[in-house]
Amino acid sequence: MPTALDLHLIPLCRQDGQEMFSLPGLLAMTPPRRVARGREQDRLMVYLTLSGNTPFTTADYLQATSQAAARFYQTPGSLTYAMRAAAQALNEMLLERNLRTTGRGQFVIGWLILGAVRDNQLTLLLSGPTHAFLLGQEGTRHIHDPALSGRGLGLSQALSVYFAQGELQPGQKVLLCSQIAPGWEATLGSERGPETPEALQRRLLALSSLDVNAVLMYTETGHGRFTIFKRERETVAASEEGPSAAVQTPTSGRPPLPPAESTPRPLPSAYAIPPQPEAPAPLADVLPAPLRTDDSESAWPEQEAEKAPKIALRAPRLSPEQTRRAARTALNLMDGWRRMTAAIGRGFQKLLPLLLPGNDPRQPVQMPGWWMAFVAIVVPIIVVTIASLVYFSRGSPLESQQYFEQARAEAERALSERDPVRQREAWEHTLALLDLLEARRKTPESQALRQEARAHLDELLGIFRLDYQPLISTNLGKDVYITRLAANETDLYLLDETSGQVLRLFLAGSGYQRDNEFECRKGVYAGYQIGDLVDILILPRGNSTNATLLGLDALGNLIYCGPGQKPKVVALPPPDTNWTAVTAATLDGGLLYVLDSGANAVWVYAEEDGVFKKRPFFYFDEQIPLLTKAVDLAVNGDDLYILHADSHLTTCTYGRLDTTPTRCIDPRPLVDTHPAAANSHSFQTKQLRQILISAPPDSALLVLDAAEAVVYRFSPRQVELQSQFYPLADSVGQPAGMPSAMTMNAGHVLFLAFGNRVYFANNVP
């Protein structure tokens, strides 16, 4: 069981030569009471740095980081998917802000580092040219790849992020920074761990006199706490209270940080950004609570905003003429208010005789003064409330028209461009503006422009929209979760992870039906034990077992299944290393390839009389790639493809001659050769989960992206992207969510499983 670690964050901030003792863009979170499935054990750190010429207050920083944390804890699924969703929420917020201020020449760029800790595993998301240093006993690991992390947030609808992982140990230090100060990289490269965090902090600040913005995290054996260390100083007038004093606020067991020599000035509203003279937007009520610096319950964002340094705003002075105009306007408003209330009162006096029984309609009803005042106050409030709800839900017509005009201008620019990259960027900008418009209202014009923009983007990037249809109308069961699919021309087999059985659907008439008599599951058969199945494979017709499906468990046991027959279990002859953790298998040309990730091996069995009864041979020669996190494999002749949990691919070519050994490329780059992509497609940031080789004659490597429900089609030899298969956009009945399995039969019918739902698409290119 992993050791529980306490995580401590120390802000390193210097602005205009003055040391600051907190960062407005730093937030640490532990899971709140109500979180999405999969987020129960995730601790989150948000480190956001903003640059540009758009004002951004400290409260705005708090709102942005809290919204990112809220999106993270409300997103189910894998950890990287939730982190990407949090980054996407920040990107949308900054992009909308930039689009609103484009006409004034103002912009803001966000550089983001998200750190999620589950047990002792640290997962980092970097957006923008940010840096992370993992300092440990074995040396320093520098995480920085601007080609993958992109330019930052708020510049485009497309999100560029870079993921990295590391194992945390007690006493380890991690430094996160938006920019490296001079001398830091050499100093951190020689760091070996014995130095205390406080000493490392002082040394880093002493290396450079320039502005600094960074976060130092260190770990201790503890109870899973997450603490931000801060020092605060309150400046009091010397004539009243005397000189200011430094106050240390952490409540953990570590000694306080040493006081700085210089007296800090009040914290600016943003790092290198002037204060904003606008009132900050209110925080959403659904945001989770950011972590306090003590062991008590988490404080709400509003409480943290009250503790944030206040920014004094001086009211502008009005000229005498402006003062007179304001006074006349106020008098006119008061007079209009009196006339409106009097008219409402007269109306009620005429209306009530018609409603009350026993009253003469010709005689007005005398109402008390308090009732008249109540009506005069409540009715305008109701009218204003309804008008406000309509305005905020639909937006002003003028603002919506501006968004549409900007989107149409971007579309015209895209049509006039000759550079494919600029065309793509213009069409993406068009869609981003339409997103802002249609968040308020949809019009036939905006939907037509959206279809045009999407059609041009699809053509530039090789995207095909497939019309997915539900495979069967009945539900497979709420507890069913499909992890593997296998299909031939008439049958589809589904591996249910929950029950450990294989379901069979067969083609009957115009649709598929479920075979309730089909038997293929874990259990004991003729004295042989079959455990939880890890993979299922279609067997060729006319084999000696008369079976149609082959299943494999984690200990190398095979189960042969077919319609109307009892399963048959056969144990594979174990390899020399015995079985450790079988992950996946595939069939190609009478050879069975078994991936044993626990033993870092791929074993190959040759078929004889329809069964695999001979001992296997080891696939690799001298060059053996690391397979401990491999999740799937595919084979195309002499070429082997291995997919890993971090979404990178390994390819190997089998050497049939003694003079030509088996050679591997690890990692094998996945290349998008479309001119409009401009090598901006980073597949390692995706969630690639399954691969397969489609049926000949036009065989291709298909890769499933679980995060975006996309199937990528690569050429088998060069591994270059040929096309991308997306569901139809804005269509009713299309699949939604994260796909859990994929397969394709010989008739080029593509099947996707989404938990307990299965969809298919015909005539896939």
- What six digits make up the tokens of 731? 């269509």
Residue of higher predicted confidence among 307 and 21: 21
Q: How far is the C-alpha of 594 from the C-alpha of 572, rounded, in Å?
A: 10
What whole-number distance in Å separates Cα of residue 56 and Cα of residue 411? 31
Average pLDDT over residues 84-107: 82
* 107 exposure class (CB count in 10 Å sphere: 0-12, 13-18, 19+): middle
**Contacting residues for 237 by C-beta, under 8 A, at least 6 apart:** none
**What percentage of the chain reaches a pLDDT higher than 90?**
33
**What single-letter amino acid sits at 327?**
A
User: The domain 5-234+244-307 belongs to what CATH superfamily?
Assistant: PPM-type phosphatase domain (3.60.40.10)
Cα–Cα distance for residue pair 309/265, rounded to 1 Å: 10
Phi and psi for 435 in degrees, rounded to 5? Answer: -60, -45
DSSP string computed for 409-466: HHHHHHHH--SHHHHHHHHHHHHHHHHHHHTT---HHHHHHHHHHHHHHHHHHTEEEE
The two tokens of residue 208 are 């450079």
Lowest-confidence pick of 416-420, 660-664, 733-737? 733-737
Report how far residue 205's alpha carbon sits from residue 211's, in angstroms, rounded to the nearest whole number: 9
Sign of the torsion angle spanned by Cα atoms 52, 57, 62, 63 = negative
Say what angle helices 397-416 and 420-438 make with each other, to 10 degrees: 170
Residues in the chain: 765
Backbone angles phi, psi at 149, to 5 degrees: -80, -15
pLDDT band at 116 (very low <50, low <70, confident <90, very high): very high
Q: Which residues of 448-465 are buried (b: 16+ CB within 10 A; e: fewer)?
A: ebbeebbebbbebbbbeb
| Res. 80: pLDDT tops 70 | yes
What lies within 8 Å, CB to CB, of 729 at 6+ separation is: 454, 465
pTM greater than 0.75 = no
Q: Taking 70 as the threshold, does the pLDDT of residue 261 lie above it?
A: no
Q: How far apart are the first and last CA of the chain?
A: 48
Instruction: Identify the sign of the CA torsion 165, 78, 125, 294.
Output: negative
The per-residue DSSP string of 221-266 comes to ESSS-EEE--EEEE---TTTT-S-EEEE---SSSPPPPPPSSPPPP
How many Å apart are CA 6 and CA 220, to the nearest integer?
5
> How far is residue 364's CA from residue 361's CA, in Å, rounded to a whole number?
7
Q: Specify whether the CB–CB gap between 122 and 166 falls below 8 A.
A: yes
Tell me the per-residue pLDDT of 713-748, one tens digit each, with 9 for 90 and over: 999 989 999 999 999 887 777 888 889 999 999 889
Q: Which of 97-101, 450-454, 700-704 has the lowest mean pLDDT?
A: 97-101
| pLDDT (average), residues 480-506 | 94
Rounded-to-integer distance, Cα 591 and Cα 716, Å: 19
Q: State yes or no: pLDDT of 221 exceeds 90.
A: no
Scored b (16 or more CB within 10 A) or e, 405-416 reads ebbbebbebbee
H or E element that contains 59: helix 58-73
pLDDT (0 to 100) of residue 367: 58
Task: Work out the pLDDT band at 644, boundaries 50, 70, 90.
Answer: very high
Give ∠ CA 654-644-589 in degrees, rounded to 5. Answer: 35
Mean pLDDT of the chain: 79
Q: What torsion, rounded to 10 degrees, do the Cα atoms 522, 525, 528, 530 define?
A: -10
Whether the bond between 357 and the residue before it is cis, its omega within 30 degrees of 0, is no
CB 36 within 8 A of CB 79: no
Q: Please give the average per-residue pLDDT across 660-680, as a whole number.
A: 86
What would the mean pLDDT of 136-148 be, rounded to a whole number? 80
Mean pLDDT, rounded, for 234-249: 33
pLDDT of residue 631: 94
Domain ranges of the chain: 5-234+244-307, 334-394, 397-461, 466-761
Residue 233: how many CB atoms within 10 A of its CB? 16
Residue with tokens 């996707």: 752
625 and 649 Cβ atoms separated by less than 8 Å: no
Output the pLDDT for position 741: 95
Can you identify the CATH homologous superfamily of domain 466-761?
Answer: TolB, C-terminal domain (2.120.10.30)
Measure the CA angle with vertex 342, ends 336 and 345; round to 5°: 145
pLDDT at 285: 37
- Interatomic CA distance for residues 754 and 393, integer angstroms: 33
What is the three-state SS of 522-565? CEEECCEEECCEEEEEECCCCCCCCCCEEEEECCCEEEEECCCC
Helices and strands counted in the chain (H then E): 11, 42
Distances (CA, A) of 329 to 315, 335, 376: 20, 10, 21
Per-position DSSP letters for 517-529, written without gaps between them: T---BSEEETTEE
Residues 6+ apart with CB under 8 A from 111: 48, 49, 50, 51, 127, 128, 129, 130, 152, 153, 178
> Is it the case that residue 401 has pLDDT exceeding 50?
yes
Q: In this structure, which amino acid lies at residue 513?
A: Q
Eight-state DSSP code of residue 154: S
Q: From CA 285, how far away is CA 301, in angstroms rounded?
A: 9
Furthest-apart CA atoms within the chain: distance in Å: 115
Specify the 3-state DSSP secondary structure of 111. strand
Instruction: Tell me: pLDDT of 265 over 80.
Output: no
- Interatomic CA distance for residues 544 and 130, integer angstroms: 59
Of 113, 109, 98, nearest to 68 by C-alpha is 113
Rg, the chain, Cα only: 32
Taking residues 45-49, what's their average pLDDT?
93
| Residue 364 confidence class, pLDDT cut points 50, 70, 90 | low
Selection from 694, 684, 678, 566 nearest residue 634 by Cα: 694
- pLDDT > 50? residue 296: no
Query: How far apart are the C-alpha atoms of 495 and 741, rounded to whole Å?
Result: 9
Query: Tokens standing for 135?
Result: 């300092």
Q: Give me the pLDDT at residue 383, please.
A: 66
Question: For residue 609, is pLDDT > 80?
Answer: no
Distance of CA 709 to the CA centre of its chain: 14
Return the structure tokens found at 175. 């430094």
64: part of which helix (H) or strand (E)?
A: helix 58-73
Inform me whether the pLDDT recorded for 341 exceeds 70: no
Residue of 644, 602, 634, 605 whose CA lies nearest to 621: 602
The first and second tokens of residue 41, run together, are 């054990």
